[in-house]
């Protein structure tokens, strides 16, 4: 699907078979495997999923002696695999910059800006105008939130335009002179 020329993907399920060693506390393991968080898998180094446990876990006997027990965990995972650990933020010191997205998916960056008065930041032709730069603005395009740098206060009324993303390959970013600080957390991800 596409939404505003940006492809949208559905979450999907990933089942993982697990085994408990003899003497392991199954209740403690099942308690830990609740809710949502980051899912790191040994066969996909350098990647992390955003996931949540989707169904109750049932314990099964694995061998005839009953000393090993198995279970399956079903996760609902978001479609993107994020770079783990994340890339370092990119500090923009000039009025323009080219950033290369080394992945195979569009990345929704978090853009931190501050300055004086009003200004604009443009990523690949998508212009965002900011009416009050004095206290700093965080445009988190991944979460679709516009807040103060601390994330405590909504600042969506100060911003028009967007969302912005970084396509695979080269991306052109420009900022107006009113923006004195611009830091981009790229949020690189893979499909």
Q: What is the mean pLDDT of residues 159-181?
A: 94
Top CATH class, 90-190 = mainly beta
Least confident of 55-59, 101-105, 123-127, 179-183: 55-59
Domain limits, CATH 2.60.120.860, in the chain: 90-190
Cβ distance 75 to 161 under 8 Å? no
Look up residue 18 and give its two tokens.
């697990």
If one counts every other C-beta atom within 10 angstroms of the C-beta of residue 83, the result is 17
Which residues are bridge partners to 29 per DSSP?
A: none
0.95 exceeded by the pTM? Answer: no
Closest by CA position to 107, among listed 138, 82, 124: 82
Q: Residue 62: is its pLDDT beyond 70?
A: no
**115 band by pLDDT with thresholds 50, 70 and 90:** very high
């Amino acid at each position: 699907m596409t939404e505003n020329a940006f492809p949208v993907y559905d979450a999907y399920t990933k089942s993982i078979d697990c085994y408990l060693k003899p003497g392991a506390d199954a209740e403690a393991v099942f308690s830990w495997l609740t809710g949502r968080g980051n899912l790191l898998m040994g066969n996909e180094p350098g990647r992390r999923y955003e996931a949540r446990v989707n169904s109750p876990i049932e314990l099964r006997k694995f061998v005839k002696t009953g000393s090993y027990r198995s279970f399956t965990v079903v996760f609902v995972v978001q479609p993107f695999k994020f770079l783990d650990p994340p890339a370092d933020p990119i500090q923009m010191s000039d009025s323009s910059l080219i950033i290369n997205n080394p992945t195979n998916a569009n990345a929704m960056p978090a853009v931190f800006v501050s300055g004086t008065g009003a200004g604009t930041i443009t990523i690949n032709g998508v212009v965002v105008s900011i009416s009050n730069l004095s206290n700093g603005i965080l445009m988190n395009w991944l979460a679709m939130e516009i807040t103060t740098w601390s994330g405590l206060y909504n600042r969506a009324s100060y911003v028009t335009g967007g969302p912005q993303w970084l396509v695979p390959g080269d991306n052109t970013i420009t900022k107006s002179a009113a923006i004195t600080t611009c830091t981009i957390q790229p949020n690189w991800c893979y499909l």
